[in-house]
Amino acid sequence: MGRRIFEGACASCHQWNGNGQQTSYAALAGSQTVNDPTGTNLIQILLTGADLASGKVRAYMPPFGKAYSAEELAAVSNYVI
């Protein structure tokens, strides 16, 4: 289930290898967030999304808290970790 959700909702921006499409800020590979087995930051960003504006960089990630159930968010989190 986690892989299926990642394919449909995450890979377009984060790519299968986790490099991140928009900016290096969107890189999952090597990120503290996805290397924390408790998933605290990961769940937080999935629930609320992110809107980063720093210098010339503008990077947006939509929130997923309303689109997915707790079980689905847990599945995609486990997949990413």
Binding site for ligand HEC (CB under 6 A): 9-10, 12-14, 22, 25-26, 28, 31, 33-34, 42, 45-46, 50, 52, 59-62, 64, 76, 80
* Phi, then psi, of 77 in degrees rounded to 5: -65, -45
Helix boundaries (H) for 20-64: 40-48
| Rounded distance between C-alpha atoms, residue 13 and residue 2, angstroms | 16
* Min CB(26)–ligand HEC separation in Å: 4
CB of 62 to ligand HEC, least distance (A): 6
Nearer to ligand HEC, 50 or 74 (CB): 50
> Which of residues 31 and 74 has its CB atom nearest to ligand HEC in the complex?
31
What minimum distance in Å lies between the beta carbon of 16 and ligand HEC?
A: 12
Contacts (Cβ under 8 Å, ≥6 apart) of 80: 2, 6, 10, 28, 34, 42
